[in-house]
Amino acid sequence: MIKTKGLKKSYKTKAKRQTTEVEAVKGIDLDVAEGEIFGFLGPNGAGKTTTLRVLATLLPLDDGEATVAGANLRTEQAAVRRAIGFVAQGGSTSDDVTAREELILQARMYGMGRAAAAARAAEVIESFELTDFADRKCKTYSGGQRRRLDIALGVIHRPQVLFLDEPTTGLDPQSRAHMWDEVRRLREEGMTVFITTHYLDEADALCDRIAIIDHGEVVAEGTPDALKREISGDVVTVGVGDAVEEAAALLKAQAFARDVEVRDDGELRLTVESGDTAIPQIMRALEGGGVSLATIELHRPTLDDVFLTKTGRSLRD
């Protein structure tokens, strides 16, 4: 649904009468499948929003090639715009109009007749649970309500691809969870969703696949689970009481154990490819060797561990 090759974008800035060229996007390759939630994860200033604005035809690309919903980004910009919805970070609602008025206007701008626009607006109001306040002015809405309206405006024309730029920034936890549900619902209806975020938990919980971007370059790409396994695998901590040495000898002989470490607290720390499959094997190995298992815990690496490994610094920093 979205394919890019060597996508580049630079800006020229002036300071003290000197012009400097800043490379915001440095040759990005992406391949986003139809009907998936694809996440662009990275710190502020990494190039996420610039990439999104280029793909949405709001900025011209300097170099490279891209297609969105089968339309060429250079030569078929009108077709790209018909196929996409775009929701910016800052939102797009006006204080002195209602949600219903905003939605009808947006539908009309996409070529719907008056009756069709009103019907579609009513449908979207119900889908996004805007009914209770749809006919109040937007200045009376909470942040979460306005953000839901922003996304409703982005999908009023039933786009094939929806671009969401930092959709939950500034929202409270309840509003964020509601927003995640809305995005999942859109995916279930067949829409492709391209989301930028700097929230680790959001990328982990919401996205089918993610690309981690830093200084304008993609440094890692894959499913959240695959990226975390790629770094160091899962870690399983095993408590066996006084039989720690015997248990260590048993588990070191198992093919699934990459590393077995005896910790100072008497527990064993195993690095494995997949904790879900390793835990039953650990239990069987210990039982077969006559060692009683007291505790067992699974610890998975985080996306911040991935970012740290790929860039040398924490995304949280």
Over residues 236-282, the pLDDT tens digits come to 999 998 899 999 999 999 999 988 989 877 789 898 888 889 999 99
**Regarding predicted confidence, which is higher, 180 or 14?**
180
> pTM above 0.85?
no
Which pLDDT value is given to residue 118? 97
pLDDT-based confidence at residue 171 (cuts at 50, 70, 90): confident
Share of the chain above pLDDT 70, in %: 99
Each domain of the chain, given as residue ranges in start order, spans 2-93+141-226, 234-299
Q: Is the pLDDT of residue 115 over 90?
A: yes
Which pLDDT value is given to residue 317? 64
Which pLDDT value is given to residue 189? 93
pLDDT-based confidence at residue 16 (cuts at 50, 70, 90): confident
Share of the chain above pLDDT 90, in %: 72
The CATH class of the 234-299 domain is alpha beta
pLDDT tens per residue across span 151-168: 999 999 999 999 999 999
The answer to whether the Cα torsion of 195, 199, 204, 210 is positive or negative is positive
Sheet holding 71-72, edge to edge: 18-32, 2-15, 63-68, 71-72
Q: How many CB atoms lie within 10 A of CB 111?
A: 10
The yes-or-no answer to whether 2-93+141-226 and 234-299 have a common fold is no
Which pLDDT value is given to residue 316? 67
pLDDT tens per residue across span 215-226: 999 999 999 988
- Under 8 Å between Cβ of 24 and 11: yes
For domain 2-93+141-226, give the fold: Rossmann fold (3.40.50)
